[in-house]
Amino acid sequence: AQSVTQPDIHITVSEGASLELRCNYSYGATPYLFWYVQSPGQGLQLLLKYFSGDTLVQGIKGFEAEFKRSQSSFNLRKPSVHWSDAAEYFCAVEGRNTGKLIFGQGTTLQVKP
Amino acid sequence: ETGVTQTPRHLVMGMTNKKSLKCEQHLGHNAMYWYKQSAKKPLELMFVYSLEERVENNSVPSRFSPECPNSSHLFLHLHTLQPEDSALYLCASSLSVLAAYNEQFFGPGTRLTVL
């Protein structure tokens, strides 16, 4: 069965520091992978997605993620965090042509001034 | 209005009430979704509609009844809910349920409290 694990429930970083949020997936083939962000009181917004090709994908707001097949991972990174990045981040996987997104439990990011 | 809108944003109801959640998408999409987001749990897919036909019903209790009258509107009718149904209910839409076009756009959600 498909599943997504985000090992870190809560992360705190200082403003200006680099960030890496971990995501591991379980799926029999190469899935479609997504990162979404949810600010308080808001719906989810797509940050970036991986379908195929270059394993390093660029997204909005300065985020990037790298797909590593050997590690079944799709970690999200940002070189310098801004206070406005404080939010909850969700990794999701979709089996090809199933139309269903499977989400991880989410990682709450807190940014210290 | 742009994107995906949901009304109401907040709803408090008793266990014997009947209420409905409304979702509208202004993106010209053909697929719409209902998700449940409970505290400390992953988002749970409840229903998927493609071209107004239900294509997925994820073992959701019958006290939740979806309706998709056209490709722009999606409702979730609620009756005799339980306190454990209190959650944020998110609506989403995408161009298609086919994975290559399944970038989902989410509404802000309805915060439901069942007393």
Q: Which of A38, A47, A88 to mutate against chain B (most B CBs within 10 Å)? A: A38
Among the partner residues A45, A97, A100, nearest to B56 by beta-carbon distance: A100
Give yes or no for A112 touching B (CB within 8 A): no
- Whether pLDDT at B90 is above 90: yes
Residues of A in contact with B31 (CB under 8 A): 99
Residues of B in contact with A34 (CB under 8 A): 103
What does DSSP assign to residue B40? T
B107 pLDDT band (50/70/90 cuts)? Answer: very high
Average of per-residue pLDDT values in chain B: 90
The answer to whether A65 touches A57, Cβ cutoff 8 Å, is: yes
State residue B51's pLDDT score: 83
State residue B99's pLDDT score: 62
Percentage of chain B beyond pLDDT 90 is 71
State residue A51's pLDDT score: 85
Query: What stretches of chain B adopt beta strand conformation (E)?
Result: 4-7, 10-13, 18-25, 31-37, 44-50, 53-57, 64-70, 73-79, 87-94, 105-106, 110-114
Residues of A in contact with B104 (CB under 8 A): 44, 46, 101
From CA A61, how far away is CA A75, in angstroms rounded?
16
State residue B92's pLDDT score: 94
The answer to whether B58 touches B115, Cβ cutoff 8 Å, is: no
State residue A18's pLDDT score: 97
Enumerate residue ranges in chain A where pLDDT < 70: 95-99
State residue B2's pLDDT score: 76
Which residue from B44, B20, A36 is spatially nearest to B6, judged by alpha carbons? B20
From CA A20, how far away is CA A73, in angstroms rounded?
12
State residue B101's pLDDT score: 63
* Interfacial residues of B (vs A; Cβ cutoff 8 Å): 4, 6, 31, 40-43, 45, 48, 50, 55-56, 90, 92, 96-100, 102-109
Among the partner residues A44, A90, A96, nearest to B99 by beta-carbon distance: A96
Distance from CA of A20 to the nearest CA of B (A): 20
What does the pLDDT look like over B29-72, one tens digit per residue?
Answer: 999 999 999 987 888 999 999 888 888 777 899 999 999 999 99
Q: How many CB atoms lie under 10 A from the CB of residue B16? A: 8
